[in-house]
Chain A
Amino acid sequence: MFGSPISAFFDLKSRGILGMNRRNIAYISRYNKRHAFPLVDNKLLTKTLAIEFQVAVPELIAVIDSQHDVQLLEKKLQGRKKFCIKPAKGSGGKGILVICASEQGEYLRSNGQAISLMDIQRHISNILAGLFSLGGAVDVAVIEDLIEVDPDMGRFSHEGVPDIRLIVFRGVPVMAMMRLACTASQGKANLHQGAVGVGIDIASGRAVHAVQHDTPIQHHPDTGLALKDLVIPSWHCLLELGCACADMTGLGFLGVDLVMDKTIGPALLELNARPGLSIQIANDAGLLPRLRKVEELNRAELMVVSQRVAFAEQHFAAAPAAVFSD
């Protein structure tokens, strides 16, 4: 399985796997203009921009931007029982606090832990001080409505919110995966923390392959459901939403995280200007051939959304034989 490094090197090359160095040099620094980074690195800016471009996002409850306002937290919550607190400049899911129920001053986290209002205030103080932001820069805390996952998709995830990651290159969706939280990942949907990654066929929204800890799996480790049965509803809408996100930021190589909400439907969770490479393992396919195909397009930026989605569905559909072949 793991032969000489040199043959492995050429195996990866022939499979068209995108490596970290090439991603940084040939895609991120070439297609993502520096001035557009704050739009995605700051969740508050992303949210404002999304509302302006009429992209669906979870409702914004409040923004806390000074230590003084931390004391006013209870008032700002307006009696909401479910909400989610995020650092605006956090990365990699750091500093996100999800409260899924509250009663008599007790707040219940998504992992079942009960905490007090003071604990939440301390968390917000940490956010303001820049504990979770890159380089420790001062930050603001964004409080938004809790997402209630569409039950069709929720049944595959053990706990936490399953989200859909799209890689959108020059406005064209090129690869997709779904991330399912599980016990091993402690409710987090990050692959390197042990979440399950399910590769999704761009054309149909059906699962094609699944991995956990970079190793192929067939069933969800907690729920035991066969992952090959997973189909994402209103897939076409999700693709169009992803294209719209790319258009509003102007970023050429973008990771778009989407969710299916019970009430508002497909919604934007967050954007990433430096999307990770594990999506290739989840799809059992390399990104490079698809990226090259899009690079061959002369005027990808001028194509309308429906044209781009059609292009993706035509060229990046999974071969039927590839679906859960192993």
Chain B
Amino acid sequence: MKPSRTPLFAIVGLLLLVGSSMTWYRHQAFDVPWMPGEKRQVWSIEAKLEFIARGEPVKVSFAIPDTQNGFERIADHTASPGYGLAFIDTPGERRAEWSIRSARGKQTLYYRVDMQVETGLNIPQAPPELVENRKLMGSGPMDTSALQLLENALERSADHFTLARELIKAFNSQQQSADFLAQKQTRSRWLVQLLNQAEVPAREVLMLNLEDGRRRQPLVTYLQVFDGEEFQLFNPQTGKQGRGKNQMMWEYHSGALLDIIGGAKSNVWFSIIDQEVPASQVLELERQEDSLLDFSIHSLPVEEQTMFKGILLIPVGVLVVVFMRVLVGLRTSGTFMPVLIAMSFIQTSLWIGLIGFVLIVGIGLLIRGYLSYLNLLLVARISAVIMTVIGIIAVFSVLAYQLGLSEALKITFFPMIILSWTIERMSILWEEEGAKEVFIQSGGSLIVALVAYMVMTNDLIRHLTFNFIGLQAIFMALAILLGSYTGYRLLELRRFRFFTGSR
């Protein structure tokens, strides 16, 4: 009568075998370390170029970065089916040039560069030439007020860099002049022009803020000021001097970021991922790119990789839920709701998430309590709860912003529909079983969500799940094993306490 357990153990064994051999292979063949520590930081940056081709010959010229202060370029690749490609490597400037005889409709080109973080790397750059013919003559109100700002700054400065700093300060302190000047051209343009006027070589550069897992990161304009071969970067808005820790120059040759002949409506998107590659692998990065056996998420475009970095953590969270329910016996409201809550905690940061969750559910319960007096049909009532939750989130966001708590704005990452169902279910639970059961279940959900959060944000776990896809098979084996566990749950030992020990 008892069904055989053999197929179950066979599947588990197979999954374990496949998972561990894939993991081991990846460790051996690609030298991916088990621990997240021993590695070099490599930023993979992918630029996605989109434009509409008009059916004529198309030529696309795109500024691309080279080894620079703090970053060493170790590899770059493009994906552009049907296009001819050339890297133009003139001294001091790199551009990628794509060309095709005829193209029509929406075109997408990819360019990806791997930049290794190399603190202390110092690459001198040739200063740009001064543009003589753009000298201001002092005629007209704009020129006058611009020259006035420059004069003020010149008085308070000693050298090229302090001049740039004082000039930005002057723009910030004399808001009226700054607003007036902004009608003609951007502030950074003015800054370059005025610095040139004072015989200081300077130019606008486009910087990229490197943040792990970013998609659609924009470029920001900075000011590069030279003193001989030395240079300094300035934020044209705040006047802050120097390069931020994770800031890289993308375009720095006074050229255009993107030139397209034969196309229109162009757009550039940047996706960034922090690779953390072992030192020995950095050297081989380029060669490996074509290996068919590199069966890993890393062969995907960066934009998809950033997505998978999060997705691959879900099985870990789900496993936590299985563990807590099967082995511990915690009751949660909604089976996998805690995983969703944990994932929004990751987005919002823990404390904001916790406070937000308690606030939303608490206020939602109060309002839901009133709604039950209105005698509504179920679907309409839940819709009302969803709208209420969105309202609560909106009010909190505005309040938090007014109070200067910009962190709290991340509350919008909460899964609203799920929260509404949670509120509805808890409210019914409250009416039928009393407040105690509500606290047991929401407490259980929160505990599971917290544990899932801690596991999912653990550096080692993030490193392992992202680098060893074979682990997913092992997770599955664990889930199946847990699914066939017939022993007692931890909380049952308490429930049946009168059967245990000496009585």
Contacts and interface: CB of A to CB of B under 8 A. Distances in A.
Given A8-B493, A12-B492, A126 B501 contact: no
A17 B489 contact: no
A219 B33 CA distance: 66
Nearest to A30: B3
B486 A11 contact: no
Interface of A: 1-3, 5, 7-9, 11-13, 15, 17, 19-22, 25-26, 30, 94, 122, 125-126, 129-132, 136, 193, 211, 214-216, 280-281, 284, 286, 295, 326
A12 B496 contact: yes
Given A11-B500, A215-B498, A130 B378 contact: yes
A12 B500 contact: yes
Contact of A131 (B378, B484, B492, B503): B378
A123 B44 CA distance: 60
B377 A2 contact: no
Contact of A17 (B379, B433, B485, B499): B499
Lowest 10 CB-CB distances: which A-B pairs, in order?
A129-B378, A11-B500, A22-B486, A19-B488, A8-B500, A8-B493, A15-B499, A122-B375, A129-B377, A3-B501
B486 A8 contact: no
B414 to A, nearest CB: 22
A204 B486 CA distance: 33
Contacts of B484: 25
Contacts of B499: 11-12, 15, 17, 280-281, 284, 286
Interface string B468-503: 000000000000000011111110111111111101
Contacts of B379: 129
Q: Counting chain A CB atoms within 10 Å of each CB, which of B329, B375, B485 scores highest?
A: B375
B496 A131 contact: no
A17 B378 contact: no
Nearest to B379: A129
B33 to A, nearest CB: 36
Contacts of B58: none
A193 B433 contact: yes
B1 interface: yes
B326 interface: yes
28 contacts: A1-B497, A3-B500, A7-B500, A9-B488, A11-B499, A11-B500, A13-B488, A15-B499, A17-B488, A17-B492, A21-B485, A21-B487, A21-B488, A26-B486, A30-B2, A30-B3, A125-B375, A125-B377, A129-B377, A129-B378, A130-B378, A131-B428, A193-B433, A193-B434, A214-B495, A215-B498, A280-B499, A286-B499
Contact of B498 (A9, A26, A214): A214
Interface in B1-18: 1-3
A68 B15 CA distance: 55
A5 B493 contact: yes
A216 B3 contact: no
A197 to B, nearest CB: 12
Contacts of A211: 498
A17 B375 contact: no
Interface string B122-146: 0000000000000000000000000
Contact of A281 (B434, B498, B501): B498
A3 B490 CA distance: 13
Interface of B: 1-3, 326, 329, 375, 377-379, 428, 432-434, 484-490, 492-501, 503
A21 B486 contact: yes
A152 B117 CA distance: 85
B487 to A, nearest CB: 6
Contacts of A136: 378
B486 A2 contact: no
Nearest to B488: A19
A46 to B, nearest CB: 22
Nearest to B491: A20
Contacts of B486: 19, 21-22, 25-26
Contacts of A125: 375, 377
Contacts of B326: 21
Contacts of A19: 486-489, 492
Contacts of B434: 193
B489 A11 contact: no
Nearest to B374: A122
A281 B500 CA distance: 12
B305 to A, nearest CB: 37
B374 to A, nearest CB: 10
A2 B500 contact: yes
A12 B493 contact: yes
A216 B488 contact: no
A2 B433 contact: no
B134 to A, nearest CB: 70
B488 A11 contact: no
Contacts of A193: 433-434
A103 B190 CA distance: 88
Given A1-B497, A12-B496, 17 more contacts: A1-B500, A2-B493, A7-B500, A8-B501, A11-B500, A12-B493, A20-B492, A21-B326, A126-B378, A132-B428, A214-B498, A216-B498, A280-B496, A280-B499, A281-B496, A281-B499, A286-B499
Nearest to A95: B432
A8 B503 CA distance: 13
A216 B497 CA distance: 11
Given A19-B492, A94-B432, A281-B498, A9 B487 contact: yes
B444 to A, nearest CB: 15
Contacts of A280: 496, 499
A2 B488 contact: no
A326 B326 CA distance: 33
Contacts of A286: 499
Contacts of B1: 295
Nearest to A23: B486
A36 B146 CA distance: 86
A3 B432 CA distance: 35
A81 to B, nearest CB: 25
Contacts of A21: 326, 485-489
Contacts of B489: 19-21
Contacts of B432: 94
A4 to B, nearest CB: 10
A209 B483 CA distance: 34
B497 A2 contact: yes
A78 B106 CA distance: 72
Contacts of B375: 122, 125
Contacts of B488: 9, 12-13, 17, 19, 21
A5 B490 contact: yes
Contacts of A295: 1
A216 B503 CA distance: 12
Contact of B503 (A94, A215, A281, A326): A326
Nearest to B380: A129
Contacts of A5: 490, 493
A106 B468 CA distance: 68
Contacts of A94: 432
A9 B496 CA distance: 10
A138 B5 CA distance: 38
A136 B377 CA distance: 12
Given A21-B487, A129-B379, A7 B501 contact: yes
A136 B420 CA distance: 14
Contacts of A326: 503
